[in-house]
């Protein structure tokens, strides 16, 4: 795909961020055609060193997690606390359209990299920041990861599980990817305005707010106090049992989704479930009457779904044109025909000789086509090239390296 067809061709982004949320935002902009320069300290982004968590080989040669969040970027290693390193960072920001960071407010202010300081020098700059809890309030300076700010504090871990069971096992990157795309949406709007008016803006996205947005329907419903909204609750007491996953004869979980219970109950019972005798039941229809008989109806569904395999239920539900899905494991998803056909995945060949499945960001443009999926940069891989692009001579670059102000890539 030609870079000229990508919507952000010519846009320059400087990223001063670690882990997932902010870097995945910058990676998405890179996929859209922006030039993204990732500024890292000499030790590198900690995401480079999480191999044990994902069960993959250590080292940079097959780093699927880092590649997922940093594909296509350039990496420059700078000691931003040194005079020359800071000057190089300033030159990068001066030439950028967008600056993305996840540093906390106090650290940004101490370094003179907060928005109020930068906008005086670069009024057109779009400043995107990810935080745990936002820019205001008593907890604005707390550290935050998606395990804490998103899952726990954001009302997911404490609610979205069966009351008779245990909270879910959280996974890294889940909330980060939500907030990263939220930030990207805001940045693109601010960039449009900056191009139109010459005035930049600060775009704030937090893990905490992203979680609240994600649970908003039930969160708002909880204020009315109805037992069906006071999560965690037992699956037997869900206000709409046709929104619950049920176990099939072959021990698969089948998720059905019939949000408009009254509209589809008759069709479901007759065409799918094989119980036309219950179509006119005053106990279970309409949904307002069902609320007094939730446990009874749940048991009918539980026993019924256990009589057929997932494949048999799939055939019935597909014929009735009702939404459903068998709950897939990750290993099944990696070979899912629909996922590959709809360009969710990319087969990445690594220097180790392995070919691994990597995930693409979930936005695809028809005219621009699929962006190339290149690996993330090795630590310091583009240090010399980036500095040369800023106007530094080879003598100056080598002097910075010798003085510990910049660091080039050193192969393993």
Give the torsion sign (CA, 84, 89, 93, 95).
positive
Residues 6+ apart with CB under 8 A from 386: 37, 74, 76, 92
Q: Specify the pairing of strand 245-247 against strand 406-407.
A: unpaired
Distances (CA, A) of 388 to 30, 248, 283: 21, 62, 76
- Does 162 qualify as catalytic in the annotation? no
Distances (CA, A) of 260 to 160, 287, 303, 304: 21, 9, 23, 21
The count of other CB atoms within 10 Å of the CB of residue 234 is 13
Across 110-131, b (16+ Cβ under 10 Å) vs e yields eeebbbeebbeebebbbbbbbb
Half-sphere exposure of 330 (CA within 13 A, CB side): 5
Q: How far apart are CA 85 and CA 42, in angstroms?
A: 11
Pick the catalytic residue from 31, 97, 114, 176.
Answer: 176
Q: How far apart are CA 185 and CA 192, in angstroms?
A: 11
Contact 97, 126 (CB under 8 A): yes
Q: Before 219, cis peptide (omega within 30)?
A: no
The catalytic residue positions are 176
């Amino acid at each position: 795909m030609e870079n000229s067809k990508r919507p952000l061709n010519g846009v320059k982004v400087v990223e001063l961020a670690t882990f997932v949320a902010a870097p995945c935002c910058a990676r998405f902009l890179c996929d859209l055609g922006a030039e993204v320069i990732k500024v890292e300290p000499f030790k590198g982004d900690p995401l480079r060193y999480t191999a044990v968590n994902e069960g993959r080989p250590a080292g940079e040669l097959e780093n699927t997690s880092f590649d997922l969040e940093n594909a296509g970027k350039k990496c420059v290693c700078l000691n931003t606390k040194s005079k020359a390193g800071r000057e190089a960072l300033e030159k990068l920001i001066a030439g950028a359209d967008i600056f993305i960071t996840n540093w906390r407010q106090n650290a940004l202010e101490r370094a003179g990299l907060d928005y109020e300081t930068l906008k005086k020098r670069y009024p057109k700059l779009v400043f995107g920041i990810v935080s745990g809890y936002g820019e205001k309030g008593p907890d604005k300076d707390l550290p935050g990861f998606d395990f804490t700010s998103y899952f726990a504090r954001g009302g997911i871990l404490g609610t979205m599980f069966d009351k008779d069971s245990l909270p879910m096992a959280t996974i890294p990157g889940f909330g980060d990817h939500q907030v990263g795309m939220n930030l990207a949406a805001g940045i693109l709007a601010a960039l449009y305005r900056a191009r139109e008016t010459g005035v930049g803006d600060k775009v704030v996205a937090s893990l905490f707010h992203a979680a609240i947005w994600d649970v908003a329907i039930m969160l708002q419903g909880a204020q009315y106090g109805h037992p069906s909204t006071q999560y965690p609750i037992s699956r037997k007491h869900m206000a709409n049992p046709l929104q619950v996953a049920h176990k099939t004869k072959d021990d698969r979980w089948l998720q059905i989704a019939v949000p408009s219970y009254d509209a589809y109950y008759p069709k479901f019972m007759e065409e799918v479930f094989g119980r036309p005798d219950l179509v006119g039941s005053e106990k279970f229809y309409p949904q307002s009457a069902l609320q007094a008989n939730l446990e009874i109806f749940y048991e009918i569904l539980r026993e019924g779904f256990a009589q057929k395999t997932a494949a048999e239920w799939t055939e019935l539900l597909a014929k009735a044109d009702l939404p459903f899905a068998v709950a897939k494991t990750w290993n099944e998803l990696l070979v899912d025909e629909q996922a590959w056909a709809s360009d969710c995945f990319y087969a990445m060949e690594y220097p180790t000789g392995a070919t691994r499945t990597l995930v693409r960001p979930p936005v695809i443009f028809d005219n621009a086509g699929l962006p190339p999926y290149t690996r993330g940069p090795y630590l310091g891989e583009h240090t010399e090239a980036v500095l040369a692009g800023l106007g530094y001579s080879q003598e100056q670059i080598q002097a910075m390296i010798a003085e510990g102000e910049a660091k080039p890539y050193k192969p393993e």
